[in-house]
Structure 1
Amino acid sequence: MAIVNVSLQVIPNVPENQIYSVVDKVIEMIATSGVKYEVGPMETTMEGELDFLMEIVKKAQDICVSEGASRVCSVVKIDYKKEGVTMDEKISKYR
Structure 2
Amino acid sequence: MAIVETSITPIGTGTPSVSKYVAKCHEVLKEYPDLEYQLTPMGTILEGDLSKIFEAIEKMHEVPFDNGASRVSTLIKVDDRRDKKGTMEGKMRSVLDKL
1:45-60 equivalences in 2 (<5 Å): 45-60=45-60
Aligned partner of residue 69 in structure 2, secondary structure: coil
Report the structure number with the largest CA radius of gyration: 2
**What's the counterpart of residue 2 of structure 2?**
4
Q: TM-score, normalised by structure 1?
A: 0.86
Superposed, 1:20-59 pairs within 5 Å as 20-34=19-33, 35-59=35-59
How far apart in 2 are the matches of 1:24 and 1:15?
18
Secondary structure of the residue aligned to 2:89 is helix
SS state of the match for residue 6, structure 1? strand
What is the letter of the counterpart of residue 91 of structure 1?
Answer: M
Query: 1:52-74: CA deviations, max 9, x gaps?
Result: 00001100111111011111001
Instruction: Provide closer, same or farther for how the CA distance between residues 90 and 29 of structure 1 changes in structure 2, counting only shifts above 3 A.
Output: same
Residue aligning to 1:87: 88
Question: Counterpart of 1:15 in 2: which secondary structure?
Answer: coil
Cα root mean square deviation, aligned: 1.8
TM-score w.r.t. structure 2 length?
0.83
The answer for unaligned runs of 5 or more in structure 1 is none
Could you tell me whether the CA contact under 8 Å between 1:31 and 1:37 is conserved in 2? no
Structure 1 position 18, deviation (Å): 5.3
Q: Runs of 5+ in structure 2 lacking a partner?
A: none
